[in-house]
Each structure stands twice: as C-alpha cells, then as structure tokens.
Amino acid sequence: MANKKLQLLYVPAGELFPNIYNPNKMSEEIFKKERLSIRTNGFFDPLLVRDRAAGGYEIVDGEHRWLAGKEEGMAEFPVINLGAVPDNVAKQLTIIANDLRGSSDPLKLADLVAGLVGSPDDLDALIASLPYTRGELTTMLEVAKGDFDWNQYIKDEEARRKGGAPKATTHRFRISSVAGSIMPAIAKQLVDIYHADAQRLGSDAPDIVLAEWIIRLKLQEEQADG
C-alpha cells in the first residue's frame, strides 16, 4: 500500500459506514462545535475509508466528521479510499489517525489563542467555535499572560485525589504539558522558597533547610492520612 497512489473521491453519504473498533469518543459539546465548523468553514478534512465486501466504504478515520456532516445536510463527502485493506491494517491506521497526528505545544497554543482575544466578545466567539470549554480557554489566556497560579493548581489536584477524583485533563489542552514547558519557572520558584526558608531559619545550609522541608512534608502526609 506504501506505493499506491491514493485519490480524492466524492461519495454519497449513504455509501459510508462506521467501523466497530473506533476508540475515539467525542463529547456532545465538541460534536456541536464540529457541526458549527462544518457549517461555517465547510468540510475541509476528507474521510479515510476502505472498501467494504458488502459494498460501499467503511470509515477508518473521520466518523464524527461524517456524522456531523450528515446532520448538517451533506449529501456526499470527500474521501480518500485505501482500497481493500485487511482488518489489521485498517485498525492500525485508526490508531495512527487518532493518536499520532501530533499535538500542540501548549505554550504556543496559549499564545495563539491569546492573540485572537481582544475583547470579551472575542472570547465568547472562540468558545462557540473552538473545541475547548470556557475554563480551558481562560486557562490558556492565564498561561499566555503569565498569570497561571501553579500553586493553586497543585492544591486543586491534591484535593481531587483525596476525593477519589481522576487527575484533571482537558480535551486537547493539558495543564500537565504546560507544567513541563515552564519547568525553569518552577525551578526558580523552588529556589525562591529555599532562600525564604533559609532566611527564616537563620541558616542557608542545605541540610538544615532540606530537613525542614522533610519534616513539613511528613506533617502534611500525616494530616492527609488522618
């Protein structure tokens, strides 16, 4: 298949069928935004399909776009047909399409979003059209402006874990990724805390300051367990 020349086709909606192994899920809110995008910008991302033994085409990638397009009244869809590829190949391609397209650099994404927001009306418009919630977009703006409260985020995560809640994630914007991108800032924060504790303790000897940190951590663990 590597040397096969693929072509763009236009296929009637009724000749397209979803596969039964697609692991990708989409929330109702994001699905509505998918519909809005098609309505506003058109259907610009062809479906990836393969031939069906029973006729028509099975969707390897793009099921949600197909469903959204049908609800928007599309009678035919642009597709790229892989031909009669076997099940194992189709399944691998579904995984690749879902997970290996790459991901946005969180800081660049935050800056990009910030550049689109000049007023509250702009933010409302982005909430309606982009696949993010108001909270996610607000976080991006905070990150872009340098106003993100990392300490509060840690406290919130600790509270969630104590309550048995899973780690907080977003549709496409993960704070954990942002954290990895701002490690230098976090390191500086640790250095500042170290110097502040050293001044309070009257000594900048590492063994004294670190011993204080260990005692503090043990007390926090005991309080959490109690």
- 109 in any annotated domain: yes
Confidence at residue 37, expressed as pLDDT on a 0 to 100 scale: 86
User: Are residues 45 and 77 in contact, defined by beta-carbon separation less than 8 angstroms?
Assistant: no
Interatomic CA distance for residues 31 and 97, integer angstroms: 18
Confidence at residue 4, expressed as pLDDT on a 0 to 100 scale: 59
- 128 in any annotated domain: yes
Confidence at residue 161, expressed as pLDDT on a 0 to 100 scale: 64
- pLDDT, tens digit, 9 for 90 and up, residues 15-49: 999 888 777 777 787 888 888 889 888 888 888 89
User: Are residues 154 and 184 in contact, defined by beta-carbon separation less than 8 angstroms?
Assistant: no
The terminus-to-terminus CA distance of the chain in angstroms comes to 61
Looking up residue 42, the CATH number of its domain turns out to be: 3.90.1530.10
Identify the H or E element spanning 10: strand 8-12
- 2 in any annotated domain: no
User: Are residues 100 and 109 in contact, defined by beta-carbon separation less than 8 angstroms?
Assistant: no
| Residue 83 backbone class (left: φ over 0; alpha: ψ -120 to 50; beta: rest) | left
Confidence at residue 175, expressed as pLDDT on a 0 to 100 scale: 47
pLDDT averaged over consecutive 10-residue blocks of the chain (226 residues)?
70 91 76 87 87 91 90 92 83 66 60 78 78 77 69 64 54 46 52 75 75 73 64
Interatomic CA distance for residues 53 and 84, integer angstroms: 8
Q: Containing domain of residue 225, as a range?
A: 182-226
Identify the H or E element spanning 17: strand 16-18
Task: Answer yes or no: do 108 and 61 share one domain.
Answer: no
In the chain, the largest separation of any two C-alpha atoms, in whole Å, equals 80
User: Which among 99, 126, 156 is the end of a domain?
Assistant: 99
- Collapsing DSSP to helix, strand or coil, 79 comes out as strand
Task: Answer yes or no: do 193 and 206 share one domain.
Answer: yes
- 1 in any annotated domain: no
User: Are residues 182 and 149 in contact, defined by beta-carbon separation less than 8 angstroms?
Assistant: no
Confidence at residue 69, expressed as pLDDT on a 0 to 100 scale: 92
Task: Answer yes or no: do 94 and 27 share one domain.
Answer: yes
Interatomic CA distance for residues 30 and 162, integer angstroms: 29
Q: Please tell me the total count of domains within the chain.
A: 3
User: Are residues 177 and 104 in contact, defined by beta-carbon separation less than 8 angstroms?
Assistant: no
Please state the pTM of the whole predicted model: 0.51
User: Are residues 213 and 197 in contact, defined by beta-carbon separation less than 8 angstroms?
Assistant: yes
